[in-house]
Amino acid sequence: MSSNIILPRILQVGDGASDAVLDVLTSLNCQNPLIITDKMMVQLSYAKNILAVLAKGGIQADVFDDTVPEPTVSSIQAGVEKVRAGHYDSIIALGGGSPIDSAKAIAILGKFGGKMQDYKFPRIVNEPGLPIIAVPTTAGTGSEVTRFTIITDEVTDEKMLCVGVGFMPIAALVDYSLTLTLPPRTTADTGIDALTHAMESFVSKKANAYSQSQALAAMNLIGPNLRGAYHNGNNKTAREAMMLGSTLAGVAFSNASVALVHGMSRPIGAAFHVPHGLSNAMLLPAVTEFSIPYASKGYAQCARAMGVANEQDSDDQANALLMSELRALNAELQVPSLEQFGVDRQSYLDLLPVMAEQALASGSPANNPIVPTSEQIISIYRGLW
C-alpha cells in the first residue's frame, strides 16, 4: 500500500525566511500579489516589511487586512470581492492560522465563485485557486503546509472543514523571527495546538510511515521547547524549534488527519468562541486518557519523542508519564477551565448532544484509535466541567 503525500512546492525555513518573498514570487512568475492579513500584522509592521521587500523588485502590492480570528463566511466576503474586482495573480497570506485560512478560502472563491458551503467536506477541492505564499507568524496551526481550511458558517454555527489540494499553499516561508513578539497566551494556545496535531496524526487511523516520521520529529522539537517559548518569548532557540515543530506537525496531520481532540474542539469553539488552540488544550488530557488503551504503543512513542519517557520505560510507564506531562503542561501554561473562560454551565450542558453530533459529523473522530459513541463524547465533554 502506498500513501499520497502533498506538500507546498517551496519551503523556505529559518531566520529571515520571509525576506525571500520577492525571490519566491519571481520564481513563480507572479507580479501582482494581494497581501491578505489582519490589523495586528499591519500594526507590528510585518505587512510594511513585506511591502518593502517587494518594492525592491518594483512590485507594488495591495493589502487586505480585514481578516478576523476564527474566520466566518461573511468575514471573508470583502476579500473575495477585492480579488474579483482586481487582477491579482497571487496571494501572500501573512499572519496566524486565521489570516492564512481566510486567504485559502478567498483564493478559491475569488477565482471560481460560489459560496463557501459549496466547498465544504466531503467535497474534495482540487481546483487550483490563486497561488498562495503563506508566511505564518504563529507556531501552531501549520496552515502554511496543510490542504485544509476551516471557515465558520455563522448561520448554523458550524465550523466547516474544507479539504483538498486546492487549499495547499504553493510556498511557505517559515520564519521564526516573526514569532518573537507573540504574547505568552497565544504562544501557549498555538503551541498546544501544534502538539495536538503531532500526537493525533501519529495515532490516527490514517497515519502512514511518512506522516509519522514528521510527527515524531515535531514532538521532538515541541516537547522540550514549549515551556521555554512561553516563559521567555525572546528565547530564539525555543522559538526556532517551536516554529519548525509546528510546520512539521502541519505536514504530519495534513497527510494523516487529526482525530478526536479536533473533532470535539470545533463545536466548543463555534458555540462558545473559545480559541482553537485553547479548546484543544482543554480536551487533550481527557481525550488522550480515553484513547490510550486502544493505542498504548503509539502514545508511548509520543511520550518518548516528547522527552518525558525513555527507552527503558515500559509502554504503560511511558503513558502514565505522558498523562502527567499533559496535565502539568496545562497547569504551567495556565490553560483555563471552561468555567474560568466564562462559558455558561447550563448552556454548555444543554448543548452537549448537538456538539457530540457535530463532532461525529466532522469525520475527525473516525480517525481516532477508538471511535467513540455519541454517549462517550458527551461523557468526555461533561468531564471538562
Q: How far is residue 325's CA from residue 305's CA, in Å, rounded to a whole number? A: 13
Q: Is 134 left (phi over 0), alpha (psi -120 to 50) or beta?
A: beta
In angstroms, give the least distance from the CB of 191 to Fe ion.
Answer: 11
Half-sphere exposure of 35 (CA within 13 A, CB side): 26
For Fe ion, the closer CB: 90 or 214: 214
- Euclidean distance between CA atoms 43 and 39, whole angstroms: 6
Q: How far is the CB of 214 from Fe ion (least distance, A)?
A: 15
Q: Give whichever of 175 and 193 is closer to Fe ion, judged by the CB atom.
A: 193
Tell me if 175 sits within 8 A of 239, measured CB to CB. Answer: no
When the beta carbons of 90 and 364 are compared against Fe ion, the nearer one is 364
C-alpha cell of 339? 468555567
CB 197 to Fe ion: min, Å: 6
Q: How far is the CB of 371 from Fe ion (least distance, A)?
A: 20
The DSSP secondary structure of 319-353, one letter per residue, reads HHHHHHHHHHHHHHTTPPPHHHHT--HHHHHHHHH
Nearer to Fe ion, 101 or 193 (CB): 193
Residue 7 grid coordinates: 506538500
Residue with CB nearest Fe ion?
A: 193
Beta carbon of residue 193, minimum distance to Fe ion (angstroms, whole number): 4
Which residue's entry shows cell 479539504?
Answer: 163
Q: Of 110 and 197, which has the nearer Cβ to Fe ion?
A: 197
Q: How far is the CB of 250 from Fe ion (least distance, A)?
A: 9
Indicate left, alpha or beta for 30 from its phi (over 0: left) and psi (-120 to 50: alpha): beta
Residue in 193, 234, 215 with CA at minimum distance from that of residue 301: 215
Q: Which residues bind Fe ion (CB under 5 A)?
A: 193
Q: 93 φ, ψ to 5°?
A: -100, 115
Nearer Cβ to Fe ion (266/304): 266
Pairwise CA distance, residues 360 & 12, whole Å: 37
293 DSSP assignment: G
Residue with cell 512590485: 59
Which of 264, 352 has the CB closer to Fe ion? Answer: 264
For the CB of residue 189, give the shortest distance to Fe ion in the complex, in Å. 10
